[in-house]
Amino acid sequence: MASKTVRQLREDVTARILTLTGWKESRVAPDNFGRDADSIAHKAFAVHPTSTDDLRAYRGRPAEGLLVETTLEVRYSWRLTPKGMSDSYDDALDAEQSITNCLMVYDTAWPQSYKVQLMTATRESNTIGEWVIGVLTFRIVHTLPLQ
């Protein structure tokens, strides 16, 4: 398993989601995404590594790197159309599934560095019913480099 920093993890997750058609990364700080109207747009997302925890059961210095678990949130927004809110909401659920599939698929580049597990998926529409704001929370086990 190759060592990757938390920054590299965030960049790798962002790059994978950008392979999906029409998605764009939000320019606001990830923890501010969805808090106001200026931070959301249709098919926008933010990748937020919320915490990283040491998985070692001993105190010795690891040879390759530090085995850690990073909790990572993918926050996304989806516009609901006024004349088809139910259908738009279903489309948002399909989009959420496509993000999940994108991050959990096993291919030649992804699983060597990261072990990904979906922990929770939450979603809610804003007060005026114009947007769905969703949060996918993943547990990602990886190795942090020590040098």
- pLDDT tens string 72-121: 999 999 999 988 889 999 999 999 999 999 999 887 767 678 999 999 99
Q: Mean pLDDT throughout 137-145?
A: 93
CB 42 within 8 A of CB 26: no
pLDDT at 112: 76
Contacts of 85 (CB under 8 A, 6+ apart): 129
Residue/partner pairs of 25-34 with CB below 8 Å, 24 or more apart: 30/73, 30/75, 33/75, 33/77, 34/75, 34/77, 34/133
pLDDT at 147: 76
Grade residue 62 by pLDDT with cuts at 50, 70 and 90.
low
Q: Report how far residue 17's alpha carbon sits from residue 102's, in angstroms, rounded to the nearest whole number.
A: 7
Residue 1 has pLDDT above 70, yes or no: no
Q: Report how far residue 4's alpha carbon sits from residue 72's, in angstroms, rounded to the nearest whole number.
A: 14
Taking all residues of the chain, what is their mean pLDDT, rounded to a whole number? Answer: 89
pLDDT at 20: 94
| Joined tokens for residue 26 | 């939000």
How long is the chain? 147
Q: Is 103 exposed, middle or buried (0-12, 13-18, 19+ CB in 10 A)?
A: buried
Q: Report how far residue 144's alpha carbon sits from residue 114's, in angstroms, rounded to the nearest whole number.
A: 11
pLDDT at 111: 62
